[in-house]
Structure 1
Amino acid sequence: MGLVYALLIGALAGWLAGKIMKGGGFGALLNIILGIVGGIVGNWLFGTLGVHIGSGIVGDLITGVIGAVVILFVAGLFKK
Structure 2
Amino acid sequence: MGFIWSLIIGGIIGWLAGVITGRDVPGGIIGNIIAGFVGAWLGTLILGSWGPDIGGFSVIPAIIGAIILVLIVSFIMGKTRNKRDT
Paired residues in the alignment total 76
Residue from 57, 72, 75 that aligns with 2:54: 57
Structure 1 stretches of 5 or more lacking a match? none
4+ residue segments displaced more than 4 Å: none
Flag the structure with higher strand content: 2
Identity %: 36
Counterparts of 1:6 and 1:40, CA distance in 2? 13
Counterparts of 1:8 and 1:22, CA distance in 2? 21
Counterparts of 1:38 and 1:4, CA distance in 2? 18
Residue aligning to 2:14: 14
Counterparts of 1:9 and 1:63, CA distance in 2? 13
Q: Greater RCO between the two (CA within 8 Å, min separation 6)?
A: 1
Write out aligned runs for 1:1-80 (5 A).
1-26=1-26, 27-47=28-48, 52-57=49-54, 60-78=58-76, 79-80=78-79
TM-score (norm 1): 0.76
> Are the counterparts in 1 of residues 43 and 62 from structure 2 also a CA contact under 8 Å?
yes
Structure 2 stretches of 5 or more lacking a match? 80-86
State the 1:28 CA deviation.
0.6
State the 1:65 CA deviation.
1.2
